[in-house]
Structure 1
């Protein structure tokens, strides 16, 4: 985990002093004390993102002037949750029912079309959930309805690239409530025989929140092998065993259809919202499309979970934001490792096709151009991830080895009752 990275500059701008939350009355003014005490309700949130100073030079504050701004997260989490949001149905991964949305992200009020295939024509119920704390329930229902689900046409595969892209007819449409707070969302669809799926969605907003939580949809799609093709597999042996193109117009094969949202991101959302942090949510695709201005409208950037595949536009925007004083937080390993290319914009303006030539980058038709794909660290890209994250990714698989505690005075060990020399077996 890498926390609070800032690019040093000749003027003495560095990591800052951590600061305290800034209140709505002074959020837009530079200061030397890191802001006032603040509360989550008045736009500060625990921790703050204003940075303070480290050499007598005030850092810019992000976001900018927030006169009258109110953090909606504490009030949102006062609503009653549904502790059964992940239960009450079965998903045997046998393709009885599967589906995808026509977009990865939406705004409050947007109509999202759901493409659903069922191996038998049946009635189904659906519920739109927002993931949060909600007193420990973990999610709350914002909308619900019924639909008929049935057969859909097959999804053709491009035998050259491995691209599997579906063109299914919408089964129903979900309108995101107009007062919905930005967050990680799931559409749960359950057939009348109690077999169901989950379809992920990120709801965005335009508010100048303290924290900007990125859902790593590009990495989830890279690993998605629905239809036998992913950037790690190719049933048809494309490019030495890896597909070079994947589509968002297909279901997720893992985690009941939720991709990697539950596995890598939901628990972080629970933590942040339980503690009242002022957080807004986005995706890699949105960061790439909105660029630097979209980032600087918020506080700190949070790379959460498995965030391995980055479009070049995202890398440019995040690095530029860092250079202008925006704090970056990386809560996972292997971030910004592969460079991908986006194409085929969909209903939300975001790409529906992602390209990456991993096995043989020189085979990329755009090789040796600014749009080429491959590992960021490799020539001719030559942009190693450590230039952004501060560390380089490497992997040695040691199975069955204990974790031996060292440096137990590190705050990461607070509350664990662990001491130097203690071991945790099989970790």
Structure 2
């Protein structure tokens, strides 16, 4: 899985070296991050045993694993599918749209991801055996290159009250033994949890190249030319959620998100879940929570997403970013919330189209919200170098300034960048200042924490490797785990 994840990082490497400074005038369509208090403030967490804690006391699925199944391939399409929405609420139905290369029966097993005493997931629903058909080939929009499917629904999951908010994985299994995953989220806006976990579904889709068959597939980075080459010249200018994810169905980098969900639910914390599209549409209100946690690489943000998050911070809701390169591309949505538009070039377009601006280029650098921002890709691995070792963040870890935590700096890195506006803050702390290499040059990675005048904490890990070191037994470090738990307990109380 790390090999696939590494490939995803390289696909995203378009802004190597130091980031460009904002040079364009402010965007007239985005007035800027709100600076006044939010209209509502985060309520106290509900009393009693948290719903997620009670859920994790239930028996897990013996032998659950993401890999090791016999998976379908994009080229042959033995079995593939997608859900009609990135999230669904109690009382609603989620439609699964599935295609098989040759007519045969298939079954869907639904797992909820969590800790479950180390099992990693619980099997919650198994569909009956269903009659599969070969569905129509995907459509490719001639203007944007967006690949989308209009498949018929094969089965509907009714979200009953016992399906607790969380990250879910549906495992498709054909009668001939081929498999593919479909991820989705159950959200519950009525759940009075301490923290909202937002899964980066817009970024998952940005990297999705389905179908990677040498002819049709495209994402926001690459597409196939007439010779079957995977090239940036044929990248799409929009991507659709109405299609499967490539390969085994787990989005690129999502294995880290899954690992973090398993880890955080093992800490007994009170959390609930949503997706990028839930923030965009207002289906969830981040200001209702003590904290909003962004566990994954969350690169693609719409204006309503940023507005909602900034307003929540101004009302006292803390923000925790556990990766790097967040809120980088400014996107728009179409077809409800099923199409993510981000035109990095005019190809393949029928006419000239202005390229999508990055948030920083439009006069609203991500550092102004988060406290640090993307610098570059990281070559290989580098250790996290501790700063402010006497800060409460590092309490109980035993670290001192200059101590090294191996392999945390990986993939992409953020930095508190000189010359870029900082958010208003009553205090700021640099928690790590780590040298790393990129194309023979040395750069600095920063882990940063600030406190807004509202009392909200805003944390940026500044590396894509942070959650891997929390969740991967081969890399796990108890010092980083304790520090992250210190942070989450502080912002959720």
TM-score, length of structure 1 as denominator length: 0.75
Does the residue aligned with 2:364 lie in a helix, a strand or coil? coil
In the alignment, which residue of structure 2 is the partner of 1:330?
321
From 267, 285, 296, the equivalent of 1:275 is: 267
In the alignment, which residue of structure 1 is the partner of 2:111?
129
In the TM superposition, 1:199-214 aligns within 5 A as 199-206=182-189, 207-214=191-198
> 1:222–1:412: structure 2 CA closer, same or farther, 3 Å change rule?
farther
In the alignment, which residue of structure 2 is the partner of 1:287?
279
- Superposed displacement of residue 417, structure 1: 8.3
d(CA) in 2 for partners of 1:423 and 1:65? 35
> Over residues 39-90 of structure 1, what are the superposed CA-to-partner deviations in whole Å (9 max), with x where a residue is unaligned?
xxxxxxxxxxxxxxxxxxxx99953266656521111111000032326731
Are the aligned partners of 1:89 and 1:190 in contact in 2 as well (CA < 8 Å)?
no
d(CA) in 2 for partners of 1:222 and 1:67? 36
From 84, 92, 101, the equivalent of 2:83 is: 101
Q: Which runs of 4+ in 1 moved over 6 A?
A: 7-10, 363-366, 416-419
From 312, 318, 342, the equivalent of 1:356 is: 342
- Superposed displacement of residue 402, structure 1: 5.1
- Superposed displacement of residue 9, structure 1: 7.8
Does the residue aligned with 2:224 lie in a helix, a strand or coil? coil
- Superposed displacement of residue 303, structure 1: 1.1
- Superposed displacement of residue 109, structure 1: 2.9
d(CA) in 1 for partners of 2:286 and 2:360? 24
Are the aligned partners of 1:182 and 1:280 in contact in 2 as well (CA < 8 Å)?
yes
Are the aligned partners of 2:204 and 2:254 in contact in 1 as well (CA < 8 Å)?
no
> 1:404–1:63: structure 2 CA closer, same or farther, 3 Å change rule?
closer
Does the residue aligned with 1:398 lie in a helix, a strand or coil? strand
Q: Which structure shows the higher strand fraction?
A: 2
Are the aligned partners of 1:342 and 1:352 in contact in 2 as well (CA < 8 Å)?
yes
In the alignment, which residue of structure 1 is the partner of 2:63?
84
Does the residue aligned with 1:91 lie in a helix, a strand or coil? coil
Does the residue aligned with 2:60 lie in a helix, a strand or coil? coil
In the alignment, which residue of structure 2 is the partner of 1:110?
92
In the alignment, which residue of structure 2 is the partner of 1:230?
219
Alpha-carbon RMSD: 3.3
2:128 matches 1:170:
no
- Superposed displacement of residue 423, structure 1: 8.6
> 1:424–1:131: structure 2 CA closer, same or farther, 3 Å change rule?
closer
- Superposed displacement of residue 320, structure 1: 1.5
> 1:418–1:245: structure 2 CA closer, same or farther, 3 Å change rule?
same
Are the aligned partners of 2:72 and 2:79 in contact in 1 as well (CA < 8 Å)?
no
d(CA) in 2 for partners of 1:307 and 1:133? 23
- Superposed displacement of residue 163, structure 1: 1.1
> Over residues 347-386 of structure 1, what are the superposed CA-to-partner deviations in whole Å (9 max), with x where a residue is unaligned?
xxxx11111112369x99885xxxx8321001xx211000
d(CA) in 1 for partners of 2:39 and 2:341? 36
2:288 matches 1:309:
no
Does the residue aligned with 2:233 lie in a helix, a strand or coil? helix
In the TM superposition, 1:21-420 aligns within 5 A as 62-64=41-43, 70-86=49-65, 89-91=69-71, 93-94=73-74, 95-145=77-127, 146-206=129-189, 207-227=191-211, 228-236=217-225, 240-254=233-247, 256-260=248-252, 262-290=254-282, 294-345=285-336, 351-359=337-345, 373-378=356-361, 381-399=362-380, 403=383, 405=385, 407=387, 409=389, 420=402
Q: Any gaps of 5 or more consecutive residues in structure 2? A: 1-32, 212-216, 411-493
